[in-house]
Structures are given as C-alpha cells and as structure tokens.
Amino acid sequence: MPYKITKERCQNSIDSTEYICDYCGGKLEPIETVDNSNNPTFWTGCKSCSRFTAGCPPTVFEIAKRMVEEHHFRYYKDETDSKDNISKAAQIVRLVQTLSEQIKEESL
C-alpha cells in the first residue's frame, strides 16, 4: 500500500520550518505510523519523547521553558515531568503571539 505521506514529504515539511519539539526542544523527525484508515504514513514527531507533534519555533520553546523553570508556570499541577508543562506553555505563548498580531492589525 502506498504511503499517504511519504518520509521525504514529511521531512520536507519539517525542513520548511525551524521548528523543534515543544516538549524537549529536540529535533523533529518523520515517524512511521498508520492513519485512522490504517494506511501507512509518516507524521512529524519527536523520537526521544515518543510523541507526534508539529513542534514550535525555538524562541517559543525558550520562553515556555523559562516560564516553567524560572517562573514556576504549572498548568498540570501534579505533573512531575516538566515537559508537559513546557508544551502547554508553548501553546499559550503562540496564542499570545497570534492575538498580539491581531490586535496590532486591528488598531491600524
């Protein structure tokens, strides 16, 4: 069966951004899997975290990491692994960036 998304196409989409893993800051790679219809495919993810993720820009990861490590941001209060909190912080940072840009455009 042909791959829905080939390894090469997945790698190209990874290479088109400078995004890194939003859990550990590591490298994103094509990971072989199957989609909901059981077709073989490759999705972007982080092998060291064993997760599929689209990742985030390095600056967003750095802000998120500092939020957790230096400012004790805890979305998941009982989480012993800080990676989940860093990933949640990264989501919030990106939302704040998007909203900031919207507000800037609206005020033009």
Counting contacts by CB under 5 A, is residue 54 touching Zn ion? Answer: no
- 52 or 102: CB nearest Zn ion: 52
What does residue 33 show for φ and ψ, rounded to 5 degrees?
-155, -170
Counting contacts by CB under 5 A, is residue 90 touching Zn ion? Answer: no
Counting contacts by CB under 5 A, is residue 56 touching Zn ion? Answer: no
Least distance between Zn ion and beta carbon 14 (Å): 13
Say if residue 1 is exposed, middle or buried (CB neighbours under 10 Å; 0-12, 13-18, 19+): exposed
Q: Is 42 within 8 Å of 5 (Cβ atoms)? A: yes
Q: Is 35 within 8 Å of 4 (Cβ atoms)? A: yes
Near Zn ion by CB under 5 A: residue from 14, 19, 20, 23: 23
- The binding site for Zn ion (CB under 5 A) comprises 21, 23-24, 26, 46, 49
